[in-house]
């Protein structure tokens, strides 16, 4: 990479980086270009990561429909009390693993787009199944419901684009579902079933996004990654106290360096 280029020749994109870009270009700059340490805490993702790890362990070492196996795993992780058991139980009611011809969990995919602009998209799919002529991608959600339509979420659209070659190779239609595990969200998993035309639209959207990021990179010295200055977005940003465009400025919460021992 040349010294005057801030972005690599082949840009890497993911669900999280696309989400950051759509929320605020400066958030994308801090997180995915500069790698700036977070100056503010907007909440820990540890619980969601923990539940995903449990789901992976349960499915790769046994079945979520085996209550004794589930209990052993939960006890081993110290998660046999609280809300987690009810989340796993709720999932088991919706899990097709025992009827699926193909079942994979925490499956990493990457796809290269060789056109212009070139990019590599990657993502980790929580689960992927082959069911009744359908390749189903399942995304587990442990928090609140962030979108009414999965089809409108750029993260789900990227997942669909990543999984599309597998569905095509197996001559299957494609489905992306968001499965909300929290008991207070009482609905069936949201469904997104893109056809060939919509998958082509997604590819065009990804190309347009990569092109826009490249334009911002070329103009970085003149504000190519502007902040949105929106209080609703800024108040949840990990860089709100150091961003010149922040609508909710504050004091950075970087950890204090340890005091030197004078003895």
Q: How much is the pLDDT for 250?
A: 82
CA 251 vs CA 94, 201, 202, 229: distances in Å: 44, 42, 39, 17
Instruction: Give the containing element (helix H, strand E) for 141.
Output: strand 134-141
224, 216 in Cβ contact below 8 A? yes
115: left (phi over 0), alpha (psi -120 to 50) or beta: beta
Residue pLDDT tens, the chain, 263 long: 444 478 999 999 999 999 999 999 999 999 999 999 888 876 556 888 899 999 999 998 999 999 999 999 999 999 999 999 999 999 998 888 766 667 788 889 999 999 999 999 999 999 999 988 999 999 998 887 777 789 999 999 999 999 999 999 999 999 999 988 886 766 666 789 999 999 999 999 999 999 999 999 999 888 889 999 999 999 989 999 999 999 998 888 876 666 666 55
Q: Does the CA dihedral 30-32-34-35 come out positive or negative?
A: positive
Own/partner contacts of 243-252, CB < 8 Å, gap of 24 or more, are 243/26, 243/30, 245/26, 250/40, 252/39, 252/40
* Ramachandran angles phi, psi of 138, nearest 5°: -115, 130
Q: How much is the pLDDT for 185?
A: 64
Domain range annotation of the chain: 1-39+110-220, 44-93
Distance CA 178, CA 60 (A): 20
Tokens of 252: 């950075």
| Residue 149, preceding peptide bond in cis (omega within 30° of 0) | no
Q: Does the CA dihedral 243-248-249-254 come out positive or negative?
A: negative
Distance CA 29, CA 213 (A): 9
Closest to 178 measured CA to CA, from 215, 131, 219, 127 = 127
Q: How much is the pLDDT for 259?
A: 65
Tell me the pTM: 0.87
Instruction: Give the containing element (helix H, strand E) for 127.
Output: strand 119-131
- Residues linked to residue 124 through DSSP beta bridges, in sequence order: 108
Q: Does the CA dihedral 232-24-219-154 come out positive or negative?
A: negative
Q: How much is the pLDDT for 114?
A: 95
């Amino acid at each position: 990479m040349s010294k005057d280029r801030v972005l690599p020749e082949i840009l890497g994109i993911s669900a999280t980086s696309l989400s950051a870009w759509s929320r605020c270009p400066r958030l994308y700059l801090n997180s995915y270009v500069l790698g700036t340490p977070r100056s503010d805490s907007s909440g820990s993702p540890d619980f969601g990561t923990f539940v995903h790890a449990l789901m992976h362990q349960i499915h790769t070492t046994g079945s979520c429909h085996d209550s004794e196996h589930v209990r052993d795993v939960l006890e081993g992780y110290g998660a046999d009390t609280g809300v987690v058991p009810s989340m796993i139980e709720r999932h088991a009611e919706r899990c097709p693993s025992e009827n699926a011809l193909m079942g994979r969990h925490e499956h990493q995919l990457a796809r290269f787009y060789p056109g212009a602009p070139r990019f590599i998209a990657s993502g980790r799919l929580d689960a992927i199944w082959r069911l009744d002529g359908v390749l189903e991608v399942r995304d587990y959600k442990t928090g609140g419901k962030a979108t009414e339509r999965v089809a409108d979420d750029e993260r789900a659209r990227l997942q669909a684009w990543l999984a599309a070659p597998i569905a095509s190779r197996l001559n299957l239609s494609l489905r992306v579902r968001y499965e909300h595990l929290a008991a207070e969200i009482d609905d069936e998993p949201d469904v997104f079933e893109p056809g060939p035309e919509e998958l082509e639209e997604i590819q065009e959207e990804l190309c347009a996004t990569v092109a826009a990021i490249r334009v911002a990179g070329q103009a970085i010295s003149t504000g190519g990654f502007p902040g949105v200055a929106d209080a609703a977005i800024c108040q949840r940003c990990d860089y709100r106290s150091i961003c010149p465009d922040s609508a909710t400025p504050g004091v950075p919460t970087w950890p204090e360096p340890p005091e030197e021992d004078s003895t």
